[in-house]
Amino acid sequence: MLKNFLVLLYVALAWAIAILFVKVEEATIPPITIMAGRAILAFITLFIVALITRKDLAGNFKHIGSFLVFAILGITLLWLCLAFGQEYISVGLGSVMVTAMPLVTFIILVLILRVEKFSAVGLIGLLIGILGIALVIGFKNILAGGSTLLGALLMVGGFGFLAVNGVLAGKWAKGIDAIITTTYFLGLGAVMLSALAFIFESPMHVPWTKDTILSELALGIISTATGYFGFYYLIHKAGAYFTSFIFYFIPIFGLLSGHLFMKEKVSVTQIIGVAIVLIGVYLVNREKFKKG
């Protein structure tokens, strides 16, 4: 149990500081180039792991269509939204936006597709979660409609794509080893993001420095490759219910890292907003938690 909890904390921290690494790099590196490098490094790492553990990568090529969809939604569109959104908002605020994923998943599965049972508690949780996110963003920023709101909406949109990806993956990736799935969609995502980087940016003429190189390595290997590996490890060893608590720790680690390393101010209203949105996320997933 202790081992699983430590892995959970590691994954939450790895994913939270990914936003910090992106923020550091965006001072000098174009956003698409950052994400292309991230995908390449993560793919190489997981490809080596797949080879060492003798995963049947070739035998699962028949699922390439599904993997391509996962790469478009769960890597390319997600990371583009995160990269451009992060340019306008703080590390702490960006980390809180991850809580939009379970809220969007509820909207898709319960209110749109209606494949899961509707519950009044879930709907209340959705509304509470939205209120919490609004508090963290700040009503002044929402009403002003400025760059902070744009950044937050891009981040929410990105996690919305991830939510759709999760719904599809639940149907199309059953029985496929998680390392195989992740290796494929990271590889495909790396190809797409690299192509976009060469079309819209000039990755070969980027002024890389020691700090940005280290941030890119940490982003690709620690936050992405080992983060994904730890996430799927937890799902396999501890179950989806236990693993879902990652989303409770990411905003906390994100706010702390932004405050410690970027000197970002955290207001009492934002702390209250984080608490409210986490309550909303819990209520949205309450029935699943009971099943867990």
**How many other CB atoms are found less than 10 A from the CB of residue 264?**
18
Residue bearing tokens 């720790």:
249
Q: State the chain's mean pLDDT as an integer.
A: 89
Q: Per-domain residue ranges for the chain?
A: 2-291
Predicted confidence at residue 290, as pLDDT, reads: 55
CA distances from 155 to 118, 123, 158, 203, 232 (A): 26, 22, 5, 24, 23
Tokens 């959104």 — which residue?
Answer: 85
Tens-place pLDDT, residues 236-292: 777 666 777 888 899 999 999 999 999 999 889 999 999 999 999 889 877 665 555
pLDDT (mean) for 6-22: 92
Query: Would you tell me the crossing angle of helices 31-52 and 227-237 to the nearest 10 degrees?
Result: 50
Q: Which residue has the higher pLDDT, 291 or 235?
A: 235
Give the DSSP letter of residue 226.
I
pLDDT in tens, 152-166: 999 999 988 988 887
Tokens 């980087």 belong to which residue? 197
How far apart (Å, rounded) are the C-alpha atoms in residues 37 and 45? 12
Please tell me the distance from the alpha carbon of residue 140 to that of residue 149, in angstroms, as a whole number. 10
Percent of all residues in the chain with a pLDDT value above 70, rounded to a whole number: 97
- Cα–Cα distance for residue pair 166/266, rounded to 1 Å: 31
pTM: predicted TM-score of the whole model, two decimal places: 0.87
